[in-house]
Amino acid sequence: MSGPPQPTRPVRLVPGARVAVVAPSGPVPEERLQAGLDVLRGWDLDPVVAPHVLDRHGTLHYLAGTDAHRAADLQSAWCDPSVDAVLCARGGYGAQRMADLLDWDAMREAGPKVFVGFSDITALHEAFATRLGLVTLHGPMAAGIDFVKNARAQDHLRATLFAPESVRVIASGGTPMVPGRARGVTLGGCLSLLAAELGGPHARPSARGGLLCLEDVGEEAYRVDRCLTQLLRAGWLDGVAGVLLGSWQDCEPYERLRPVLADRLGGLGVPVVEDFGFGHGEGALTIPFGVPAELDADAGTLALDRPALA
């Protein structure tokens, strides 16, 4: 019996490729956006800024413009045949509010292209997986500090975009919380967003068969416990193949957070690797979602069966 179809890989970028920058979530600092555009131009890309990227919502200060405008920017960029990739400017909050306004049928007809983001963009990674069956990239965003200033983050994303075969083995230097090896398809993102997606229209039924990547920012230990407990109680973690833990930037000190992660995840009976170097931490690695891979928790490596992009 054959398994489910593998997600579609978008085509890698080449010099001169046109990339659209959108803001699905929070307000974007103009100075950092301009710095990010300079980085993209330095990569011989042709960046275009969606019309509402620098908008501010009239009453909800945490949103980059209205839900309708943020959705229109993403959909227009995705459906523009001259655009090869869509890069999110930043996270924050708001992707869930606009995801239901997207015309997923039209976006599916437009065909695959590269999509990059993390943090609040987790909600869109899930939607792109369930609605479009597409490989996406959990990586630095165009107006993010890492994207603008950190060489490791820049180099790993650039290699993934232009020469994905060169980063088929992601060596993080991570350490085993639960040793062992596991095979599965990569997925995940920001823990609190995955918990918030439960029961939503774009949520996958479970992480079964997956190598689940988890990270978060600014959360206290009991809130991390609550999110993991919610996923456990919902059965969402049943059958997960392995877990990769990224950064826990601005959360409680890790020596207080680690026992929570071990308590909630150690009973799954699968390999768990910590400090894998993706997420909100400095120098974050780009992790493709939707790619079959092997996790070696002892070695701290993730070996992709095929390059993230075709």
Positions annotated as catalytic residues are 119, 215, 280
Q: Per the structure block, which two tokens stand in for 134? A: 């597409």
Q: Per the structure block, which two tokens stand in for 30? A: 């103009």
Q: What is the 3-state secondary structure (H, E, C) of the chain?
A: CCCCCCCECCCCCCCCCEEEEECCCCCCCHHHHHHHHHHHHHCCCEEEECCCCCCCCCCCCCCCCCHHHHHHHHHHHHHCCCCCEEEECCCCCCHHHHHCCCCHHHHHHCCCCEEEECHHHHHHHHHHHHHHCECEEECCCCCCHHHHHCHHHHHHHHHHHHCHHHHCEEECCCEEEECCEEEEEEEEEEHHHHHHHCCCCCCCCCCCCEEEEEEEECCCHHHHHHHHHHHHHCCCCCCCCEEEEEEEECCCCHHHHHHHHHHHHHHHCCCEEECCCCCCCCCCCCEEECCEEEEECCCCEEEECCCCCC
> What is the total residue count of the chain?
310
Q: Bridge partners of 189?
A: 214
Backbone angles phi, psi at 116, to 5 degrees: -130, 135
Which of 282, 306, 284, 294 shows the shortest CA–CA distance to 172?
284
Q: Per the structure block, which two tokens stand in for 296? A: 């070696």
